Structure 1
Amino acid sequence: MLNLMRLEMKKYHLGSYVKGAIIANFIILGFLFLVVGISKVEGDQDLENYQVALSVIESMIRVVFSIFASTLIAKLIIGEYKFKTITLAFMYPISRKKLIVAKLAIVMLFTFSTIIISNAFITTTFCVISDKFDLIPNGLSSSLILQHIPSVLMNAIAASGIALIPLYFGMRKYSIPATIISSIIIVSLTSSNTGNFTLNDIIFIPITLAIVGLGIAYLAIRNIEKVDV
């Protein structure tokens, strides 16, 4: 399975997605410092403390890389069906199920890894610079960081499952736009902030959506050996 995943990543030149993830990290950082800078000038502190800042960082990262995941699904699976190149792939002496599972595993692993790594990088960079130049009131405590880590891990795991939901919409008519748009709608609904509250904060919602995503993945591969393409 790991060897098949490596071959798939090499086939689709997924190194470009890694570069895209790095660029996205710096864009998020730039946006955060822009918000802090404007707040300082206007005298209105949007990120009033590190707890709010960490929550905003985690939410932004989750949104960005959930959409990244939908573009991966579009490239690895939906595009293959749309342009019939999956027929050639299914001619190889490899189980169809194993091939699709490898593709979905790449999507989930990419989503989980980028969310974890990006949180570590962006949070560390932002907090170090903010603390050095006193951009946010009150210091960053170790207890706050320790409380934040489980939340990041849980949301990364949930996001990896939720990232599979657009597969359902994309496979209906092999539509790449439907795949990406459905992802944008999902993250908009779950991450829309109202009074420092999002639907994602209700623990059973991301867990339920993650289970739905895994269920959709299972249904997509259950009868794949018998389906004509």
Structure 2
Amino acid sequence: MLNLMRLEMKKFHLGSYVRGAIIANLVILGFLFMILFISKVEGDPGLENYEVALSVIDSFVRAVFIIFASTLIAKLIIGEYKFKTITLAFMYPISRKKLMVAKLAIVMLFTFSMIIISNALITTIFCVISDQYELIPDVLSSSLIIQHIPSVLMNAIAASGIALIPLYFGMRKYSIPTTIISSIIIVSVTSSNSGNFTLNDIIIIPITLAIVGLGIAYLAIRNVEKVDV
């Protein structure tokens, strides 16, 4: 399975997605500092303390990489069906189910690992700069970071499942734009902020969506032997 995943990653040149992830992190950092700058100019506390800041960082990161995951699904699966290149892959002496599991595992592992790494990287840079220039009227405590870690891990796991939901919409007509647009809609609904509150804060919602995503993946794998391409 690991060899198959490695071959798929090499075949689709997924190293470019890592570069894209780095650029996305820089954009998120820039956006966060822009919020701080605008809030200072207007005298409105945009990020009044580090608890809010860490929550906002996590929300931004999850939103970005759920959409990233949809582009991966579009490249690894939807595009292969759309352009019939999956036919050649299915001719190899490899189980179709095993091939699909490898593709979906790449999407989930990429999403999970990038959310964890990006959270750690962005939080570190943001907090160091904010503390140095006193951009947030608060003191970052180690207890807050320790409390935040389990939340980040759980959100990353849930996001890895949620990231699979666009597969359902993309596979209906093998549409790449539909795959990506559906992920944007999902992110918009679950991450829209109202008074520092999002639907993702209701723990049952991300868990349910993650289970739905895993269910969609299971159906895609289960029926792959019967699907004509």
- The two structures have a TM-score, normalised by structure 2, of 0.99
C-alpha displacement of 1:226 = 2.3
CA distance in structure 2 between the partners assigned to 1:42 and 1:223 by the alignment:
56
State the one-letter code of the partner of 1:115.
I
CA distance in structure 1 between the partners assigned to 2:142 and 2:96 by the alignment:
48
CA distance in structure 1 between the partners assigned to 2:70 and 2:227 by the alignment:
23
Q: Determine the structure 2 residue equivalent to 1:34.
A: 34
2:58 matched to 1:61?
no
The range that moved more, 29-38 or 8-17, is 29-38
Give per-residue Cα distances to partners, 1:68-109, cap 9 Å, x unaligned: 000000000000000000000000010000000000000000
CA distance in structure 1 between the partners assigned to 2:97 and 2:70 by the alignment:
20
CA distance in structure 1 between the partners assigned to 2:113 and 2:181 by the alignment:
23
Structure 2 matches for 1:80-229, cutoff 5 A?
80-229=80-229
Please identify runs of 4+ aligned residues in structure 1 that moved more than 4 A: none
**What is the DSSP-based 3-state SS (H/G/I as helix, E as strand, rest coil) of the residue aligned with 2:195?**
coil
State the one-letter code of the partner of 1:66.
I
CA distance in structure 2 between the partners assigned to 1:59 and 1:42 by the alignment:
24
Aligned-residue CA RMSD in angstroms?
0.6
Identity of aligned residues (%): 86
Structure 1 unmatched ranges of 5 or more: none
State the one-letter code of the partner of 2:64.
V
**What is the DSSP-based 3-state SS (H/G/I as helix, E as strand, rest coil) of the residue aligned with 2:206?**
helix
CA distance in structure 2 between the partners assigned to 1:214 and 1:202 by the alignment:
19
State the one-letter code of the partner of 1:156.
A
- The two structures have a TM-score, normalised by structure 1, of 0.99
C-alpha displacement of 1:207 = 0.5
CA distance in structure 1 between the partners assigned to 2:222 and 2:193 by the alignment:
37
2:72 matched to 1:72?
yes
**What is the DSSP-based 3-state SS (H/G/I as helix, E as strand, rest coil) of the residue aligned with 1:137?**
coil
The range that moved more, 41-50 or 160-169, is 41-50
CA distance in structure 2 between the partners assigned to 1:199 and 1:41 by the alignment:
30
**What is the DSSP-based 3-state SS (H/G/I as helix, E as strand, rest coil) of the residue aligned with 2:137?**
coil
Q: Determine the structure 2 residue equivalent to 1:10.
A: 10
CA distance in structure 1 between the partners assigned to 2:54 and 2:178 by the alignment:
31
**What is the DSSP-based 3-state SS (H/G/I as helix, E as strand, rest coil) of the residue aligned with 2:104?**
helix
Aligned length: 229
**What is the DSSP-based 3-state SS (H/G/I as helix, E as strand, rest coil) of the residue aligned with 2:45?**
coil
**What is the DSSP-based 3-state SS (H/G/I as helix, E as strand, rest coil) of the residue aligned with 2:39?**
helix
**What is the DSSP-based 3-state SS (H/G/I as helix, E as strand, rest coil) of the residue aligned with 2:105?**
helix
State the one-letter code of the partner of 1:105.
A
